[in-house]
Amino acid sequence: MLKSVTVVLGVAATVALGGCDSPRGRAMATDGAIGAGGGALLGAVAGFNPLVGAAVGGAGGAAVGAATH
């Protein structure tokens, strides 16, 4: 399960990073991808749904990326 989630997140991050044309957009996509990966990993390790962890981590990471750039 964790391997399939990791593959999906990797593909999503690649697609998201491909469409960024501004520093702020790149920061949002990069931080969102990092947050999604971390959230999925922590969700799986803690025994929760890794997809929910990815969604929450991705949203939080994108918000931080937008706020800091």
Sequential DSSP letters for 8-55: HHHHHHHHHHHT--SHHHHHHHHHHHHHHHHHHHHHHHHTS-HHHHHH
pLDDT at position 43 is 87
Residue pair 54/36 in contact (Cβ under 8 Å)? The answer is yes
For 4-47, what is each residue's pLDDT tens digit? 666 676 666 666 655 556 888 888 888 988 899 899 888 888 88
* Measured distance CA(32)–CA(14) in Å, rounded: 12
- Of residues 8 and 50, more confidence is placed in 50
The residue range of the domain holding 9 is: 2-68
Domain count, the chain: 1
The average pLDDT across 49-69 equals 87
Question: What pLDDT, on the 0 to 100 scale, is given for residue 24?
Answer: 82
| pLDDT for 19 | 58
